[in-house]
Structure 1
């Protein structure tokens, strides 16, 4: 043995310690990598899936509200559940036994009429024919035959018939012919012996007493096609009736409202070889008058706002029949609101509005991770705006959305422009759209000939809503 040589060595033990420390180091590196990358990725996926669920719930909510107002289901509560956060909503896998390996669950808030500090207001300003403001104004009666020009659409255009000898065996019944540009209407005295028969056949038939056996019928021909053929308006008429029988050509059942453009000239003539029609006249009735009309309502909203930890924070909200998404870089609509436009050619425009609003006295806010239940009721004061049911009925109209949220203002302007030009096909020469310091607007200019070129219709649907927590899941 050499001098100075150790009698034993601990090198093998030292190598085991170093190896163990390296293994611990590798585990810590892997653990740290998972915490830094794996947990956020899992948390981001959970929050993306959760926001997708929120989107689906708002779509379902919109469909439910649409069903309420279209079917007039008043005072019936519709229940919708929204999961407020990801905690407890998603599976965590085998790592759930180690809390530090789980992503932190996000939370959210569901609020009613809390979206902005001041209410968002929807307003329609128009110069229109407005119904039922001063009662009915009648023009006439005017004797037939005649030719009449109507600069404005009447609410009723009555053909008044006083008859004599209107019996089933009359061989030369009379009629009144009304002709427009693309249509013809004929109001006939039509013999109908079946009105008087009671029993028997052949020569043994019996008849009802005091029976005359003639009907008043109407035939409509549009663009050369018969759309209505001898439809009975009055059955078994009495020729001695003291008041005339009146047929309203503006009745929606006859389908003439949509084919008459005003101003229009109509020709009225009479066929009466047996002097069956004593007098025939026309009376135009106007149940509306032109005036400036303003409708304004605070819209309110039902909004879900998330407090995401791993993904961008977002807010979904339902307003005016639409579903909207708002985040830090702007707002957009996921489903469009209930405002639609259409171009009918020759400068004629149609605008349909359903003003769906929340009761401004409703207010609520709930936050956390557990689900929340929203109860929504259609109030019984839903109705229609008083625009006259004639086409067209408006000279000019402006729709305003007042909001303190600049992102919402730009989004509304973009939607109104898209709905008018791309969806509705309205040339930009007939409208202007843009933003103001208080919101956004679209204005329809109408024609330059002094006649109305806009058909405006509006419905209202007012909602009452409440929210409550369902507790932990």
Structure 2
């Protein structure tokens, strides 16, 4: 009888061990395959949200200067427009299911929103010298993804750009236009006053607020044709990848002779240039995270 009881007890122990082994196999498969797949999908959806946010930000910024009359001063100047942005794929939410269950779901991504100023420049010149030189400011979001490609979106000169490890592409065209022969340029110079020099940034997973107000916009100015003195537009950008993206979109928009060397994109042979300013003040504000 003792031997029978001993064998039955051993069988129960073996059964429990096998069940635990199966559970561990299932959990391992879940952590190795299901969790990364879920995290990747969350981050893909979040990057789609980021792209939509920047597109909407561009539309909002454009609507401010379009509806402003530089002659009378009527329009939405000094009116602050706030846009909220969630930095991480899980929005900074925290969970209380216990330490073990933390590993059963994806880790949320994080990101950094920043106001970039002082590293990029826009210049107009001809044979007589530099006629105009302006700083290019930008609103930038850099994703720190755990399961998907890390990406950077930024808004500058009225356009939206996407930067990845394999290059930079334009997502929404900047405020440039050209005549049918590519020799007359029309553009809006977007100035972003970040309330100070250098970079201002907020990092994390939760929500931030970007406040934007139109200081003013100007009437259109023109560099008139001068015989034998064509105009040149030169842009000094953050890197060669950004310069290639600008060269590509300017060619698509009808620019004549557009070249790129290093981090500079150049348009040459312009007979005249029509331009106006849209001057904004931009600031960042932290918003408390939502806890669930």
Aligned to 2:278: 461
**Count of aligned residue pairs for this structure pair:** 278
Match of 2:60 in 1: 64
Q: Secondary structure at the match of 2:79?
A: coil
Note closer, same or farther for the CA distance 1:103–1:354 as it changes in structure 2 (3 Å cut): same
The alpha carbon displacement at 1:69 in A equals: 0.8
Asked if residue 433 in structure 1 is aligned to residue 250 in structure 2, the reply is no
Pick closer, same or farther for the CA change 1:317–1:96 going to 2, 3 Å.
farther
From 145, 150, 159, give the equivalent of 1:308. 145
CA distance in 1, matches of 2:130, 2:173: 26
Indicate yes or no: 2:252 matched with 1:411: no
- Please tell me whether residue 374 in structure 1 is matched to residue 210 in structure 2: yes
Secondary structure of 1:101's counterpart equals coil
**Alpha-carbon distance in structure 2 between the residues aligned to 1:367 and 1:21:** 46
- Structure 1: runs of 5+ lacking an equivalent: 1-5, 128-290, 422-430, 446-453
**What secondary structure is seen at the aligned counterpart in 2 of 1:309?**
coil
Change in Cα spacing, 1:7 to 1:331, as seen in structure 2 (3 Å) is: closer
Match of 1:135 in 2: none
Q: Relative to 1, partners in 2 of residues 1:378 and 1:20: Cα closer, same or farther, differing over 3 Å?
A: same
The structure with the greater share of residues assigned to helix is: 2
Aligned twin of 1:355:
189
* Structure 1 residue 385, shift from structure 2 partner: 2.5
Which structure shows the higher strand fraction? 1
Distance in 2 between residues matched to 1:18 and 1:97, nearest whole Å: 25
Displacement of 1:36 in angstroms is: 1.0
Secondary structure of the residue aligned to 2:137 is coil
Matched residue, 1:387 = 223
SS at match of 1:311: coil
SS in 1 for 2:103: helix
In 2 relative to 1, CA 95–338 (structure 1 residues): closer, same or farther, beyond 3 Å? farther
Deviation for aligned residue 1:407: 1.2
User: 2:108 maps to which residue?
Assistant: 105
- TM-score w.r.t. length of structure 2: 0.85
Closer, same or farther in 2 for the Cα pair 1:17/1:54, shift >3 Å?
same
- Aligned-pair distance for 1:87? 2.8
Identify if the C-alpha distance between structure 1 residues 104 and 367 changes in structure 2 by more than 3 Å, giving closer, same or farther.
same
Correspondence 1:442 to 2:274: no
> Within the alignment, does 1:364 sit opposite 2:200 as a pair?
yes
CA-CA distance at 1:106 after TM superposition:
1.3
The structure-2 alpha-carbon separation of the partners of 1:7 and 1:109, relative to structure 1 and needing over 3 Å to count, comes to closer
Larger Rg: 1
Q: Which residue of 83, 86, 90 corresponds with 2:86? A: 83
- 2:168–2:245: 8 Å Cα contact kept in structure 1? yes
How does 1:58-457 map onto structure 2 within 5 Å? 58-72=54-68, 73-88=76-91, 98-113=101-116, 118-126=118-126, 294-343=131-180, 349-359=183-193, 361-362=195-196, 363-380=199-216, 382-387=218-223, 396-420=230-254, 431-444=256-269, 454-457=271-274
Cα distance in 1 between the residues matched to 2:190 and 2:214: 10
Give the Å deviation of 1:417: 2.1
Contact 1:383 1:459 in 2 (8 A): yes
**Residues 15/109 of structure 1: CA separation in 2 closer, same or farther (3 Å cut):** same
The separation in 2 between residues aligned to 1:34 and 1:293, in whole angstroms, is 62
| CA distance in 2: counterparts of 1:341 and 1:26, whole angstroms | 67
The 3 A distance-change label for structure 1 pair 361 and 95 is closer
Residue of structure 1 aligned with 2:34, choices 16, 31, 38 = 38
Q: State the distance in 1 between where 2:172 and 2:67 align.
A: 20
- CA distance 1:77–1:440, shift in 2 (3 Å): same
SS of aligned partner of 1:417: helix
Normalising by structure 1, report the TM-score: 0.54
Residues 311-341 of structure 1 deviation map (CA, whole Å, 9 limit, x = unaligned) = 1111111000001111111111110111111
Query: Residue 51 and residue 396 in structure 1: after superposition, are their counterparts in 2 closer, same or farther (change >3 A)?
Result: same
**Cα RMSD (Å):** 2.8
Cα distance in 2 for residues equivalent to 1:437 and 1:88: 38
